[in-house]
Amino acid sequence: MRDIAIIGIGMMKWGELWEKSLRDLAVEASLNCLADAGVDRVDTISIGCMSGGIFNGQEHLASMIPDYLGFKHTPAMRVESACASGGLAVRTAFLEVASGMADYALAVGVEKMTDVGGGEATYGLATASDQDYEAFHGINFPGLYALMARAHMTRYGTTREQLADVAVKNHRNGNLNPLAQFPSLMTREQVMSSVMVADPIRLMDCSPITDGAAAVLLTTVEEARKIKKHPIVVISGIGLATDTIALCQRKDILKLPAIELAGQRALKMAGKTIRDINFAEVHDCFTIAEIMVMEALGIVEPGQGGPATSAGHTALNGKFPINPSGGLKSKGHPVGATGVAQIYEVVSQLRGTSGKRQIADAKVGMTQNMGGSGGSCVIHILEAKS
């Protein structure tokens, strides 16, 4: 396998982007990415989109996007793993180049969620759960994560305040991110007094409904060195793993085997341990998710995610910064785009271009992108190379 570098990243400010369609968003992020790369060549396009069909009545993005991007006839595919679709698209682009099938692979994640009403958006998201044995019974994603949250609070004594501190910290970071959907600061009290969604999860524990896209361009390290536009950032490890789709079919509902295994696989490929990782962008679809992922990755011991957050260990200047971009909570969560935007953030950090939210001495970063209640997970390890 060839060594792979990310030479271009592109995004836009996320939010309720009424004037931009699904194809507009994908193209805009991709053009920004190509401009950032200083390259106008794309050999293949991997598209991460959870549900163009349900949110927009539009499938067959593999046909639409290359054409609208100005790369008609280019090989393309759409990959899907619910909310991990974006990360999966990056991995797919990696495979294209690493295998030698392509030299320049574009990965673009996109989701346009506001053309449908709230009910239909919820229905679309619910397709990431077990339709006949979870959604059928009237549970939604806040509900599934609430089942985990209550169990976590019972087993480990995680508190409502610790959950809130995840949101507070991510908003503090997002406040420094000009592309975040919700950059306003948030207090613990605001989180804990927001409307109850699925006890104990409140509105401010939940990532929002968002329109947005992000794109990254991958090539070989050799090519990257020739282009010489940005500091070289390589993908040194990737891990992909799956688990049961239904939460109740896991032996221990507080364990996330997909995250644990994806993490182990990525670290093994990169020849590293979790202690070698400086910071991470993780999938905080709900505040409890960030806590459980920290534990699954081995950043902290099981049950210690809450205390570590409240102690400030995951802040920008903490021992292990998590979600410097503001995470899904503050930056937004256009489902298929999230995994790619995580790469965008880690690349900026490793290049040293994150401005006010720059992490000092960022050398090795991790992205963790997962689908549903932890049914799938893809993890990338990126390093700054001299």
Partner 1 sequence: MKVAKHWRETPERYRLEAGKCKKCKHINFPQRLVCPECGAKEFEMVRLSGKGKLETYTVIHTAPDGFADLAPYAVGIVELDEGVKILAQITDCNPAELKIGDQLITKFRRINEEGKTGMIMYAYKFVPDFGL
Give the catalytic positions in this structure.
83, 333
Contact status: 147 vs partner 1 (CB under 8 A): yes
Choice between 28 and 134, CB closer to partner 1: 134
Which range of residues in 56-64, 199-207, 272-280, 359-367 is near partner 1 by CB under 8 A? 199-207
Contact status: 360 vs partner 1 (CB under 8 A): no
Cβ atoms within 10 Å of 168's Cβ, excluding its own: 22
Choice between 200 and 339, CB closer to partner 1: 200
Which range of residues in 68-76, 189-197, 218-226, 305-313 is near partner 1 by CB under 8 A? 189-197
Contact status: 140 vs partner 1 (CB under 8 A): yes
- Supply the DSSP symbol for 59: -
Question: 30, 38, 31, 21: which is closest to 107 by C-alpha?
Answer: 30
| Alpha-carbon distance values, 64 to 61, 84, 142, 361 (Å) | 5, 21, 33, 41
Applying CB under 8 A, which of residues 16, 24, 31, 123 lies at the interface with partner 1?
123
Q: How far is the CB of 258 from partner 1 (least distance, A)?
A: 15
| Alpha-carbon distance values, 240 to 231, 267, 280 (Å) | 27, 11, 16
Contact status: 249 vs partner 1 (CB under 8 A): yes
Identity at 177, one-letter amino acid code: N
| Alpha-carbon distance values, 72 to 64, 92, 216, 379 (Å) | 9, 20, 19, 31
Applying CB under 8 A, which of residues 11, 49, 90, 148 lies at the interface with partner 1?
148
Radius of gyration of the chain (CA): 19
Q: How far is the CB of 151 from partner 1 (least distance, A)?
A: 4
Applying CB under 8 A, which of residues 102, 128, 201, 340 lies at the interface with partner 1?
201
Please check whether residue 369 is in contact with residue 92, taking contact to mean a CB–CB distance below 8 angstroms: no
Residue 200 preceded by cis peptide, ω within 30: yes
Contact status: 262 vs partner 1 (CB under 8 A): no
CA dihedral over 337, 80, 52, 75, signed as positive or negative: positive
Choice between 102 and 247, CB closer to partner 1: 247
Which range of residues in 26-34, 53-61, 121-129, 312-320 is near partner 1 by CB under 8 A? 121-129
Task: Measure the CA–CA gap between 327 and 148, rounded to whole angstroms.
Answer: 20
Q: How far is the CB of 139 from partner 1 (least distance, A)?
A: 5
Contacting residues toward partner 1, per CB under 8 A: 119-120, 122-123, 126, 132-140, 142-143, 146-151, 154, 195-201, 244, 246-249, 253
